[in-house]
């Protein structure tokens, strides 16, 4: 199974004392996203970002990153992607070259400022929300579809049972796409919460995004501003987190018309925005 590596460790147990044994650990390696515009243009080819991720579904990660950050609005704007193996004795890593269509225009100064704001977790909250609202690819969706409250209670457990890497390592995040009956449609895991979401979105967009308006995404951890942003831009109406949302995540969800649910377990959950999408069923 790709995505983990075995390390020799010393484990202490109160009853059995010290034992030497192997331990499965989630792999974390850098991935560089490099934009290439082709030989017939005068635009500069350059590195866009380096993300620390768990190898696997890398092209989905890149598609989802470009789309959810508003750099492209359609998968046809990606002409091709090429994985370049850059593993050296001094380190490990990969680069993906993304060949963009000629009509794609990027303002590098704006991009650098945007990624700074994203990494600083909403230092300028109102400006961050306004920037997301300007990048929405579709009109704000109505307060539909409806998801049954009892179904919501069971979703984190269904997600957990399908997390193959988490079962081995115990140290990886997941984003899962569910239909309104609670059936798991798609799951992606990664050491980074944002990467797991980007891999999910990238796979969905490569498949045409045909059921994004009928689905809910469940997060294995907390709901941050960036994850709400990615859900909104991808037209996902319901975001369900096992953990807590941040204040700016709630503000953005309210502004964008997203149903945001947190602290979801087998017995209870909190609805922070979009209560109308949750059916009375208890």
> What phi-psi label fits residue 11: left (phi over 0), alpha (psi between -120 and 50 degrees) or beta?
beta
DSSP string, 8-62: EEEEEETTTEEEEEEEEEE--EEEEEEEE--TTS-SPPEEEEEEEE-SSSHHHHH
- Distance CA(21)–CA(178), nearest Å, equals 38
Tell me the sheet residues that pair with 98: 35, 81
- Distance CA(234)–CA(229), nearest Å, equals 9
Residue identified by tokens 């991935």 is 31
Output phi, psi for 277, to 5 deg.
-85, -5
- Distance CA(110)–CA(49), nearest Å, equals 14
- Distance CA(115)–CA(133), nearest Å, equals 16
Angstrom distances, CA of residue 62 to CA of 66, 145, 215, 233: 6, 29, 22, 15
- Distance CA(270)–CA(267), nearest Å, equals 11
What amino acid positions are annotated as catalytic residues?
Answer: 121
């Amino acid at each position: 199974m790709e995505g983990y590596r075995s390390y020799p460790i010393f484990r202490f147990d109160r009853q059995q004392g010290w034992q030497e044994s192997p331990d499965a650990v989630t792999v974390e390696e850098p991935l560089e996203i490099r934009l290439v515009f082709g030989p017939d243009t005068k635009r500069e080819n350059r590195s866009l970002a380096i993300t620390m991720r768990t190898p696997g579904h890398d092209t989905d990660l890149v598609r989802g990153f470009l789309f959810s950050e508003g750099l492209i609005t359609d998968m046809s704007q990606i002409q091709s992607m090429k994985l370049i193996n850059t593993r050296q004795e001094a380190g490990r890593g990969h680069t993906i070259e993304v060949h963009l269509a000629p009509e794609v225009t990027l303002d590098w100064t704006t991009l650098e400022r945007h990624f700074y704001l994203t990494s600083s977790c909403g230092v300028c909250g109102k400006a961050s929300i306004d920037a997301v609202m300007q990048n929405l690819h579709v009109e704000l969706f109505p307060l539909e579809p409806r998801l049954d409250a009892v179904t919501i209670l069971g979703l984190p457990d269904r997600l957990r049972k399908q997390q193959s890497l988490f079962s081995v390592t115990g140290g990886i995040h997941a984003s899962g796409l569910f239909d309104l009956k609670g059936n798991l449609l798609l799951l992606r895991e990664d050491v980074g919460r944002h990467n797991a979401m980007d891999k999910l979105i990238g796979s969905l967009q490569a498949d045409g995004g045909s059921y994004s308006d009928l689905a809910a995404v469940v997060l294995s951890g907390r709901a941050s501003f960036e994850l709400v942003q990615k859900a909104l831009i991808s037209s996902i109406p319901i975001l369900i987190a096992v953990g807590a949302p941040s204040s700016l995540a709630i503000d953005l969800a309210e502004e964008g018309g997203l149903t945001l649910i947190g602290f979801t377990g087998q017995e209870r959950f909190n609805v922070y925005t979009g209560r109308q999408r949750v059916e009375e069923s208890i």
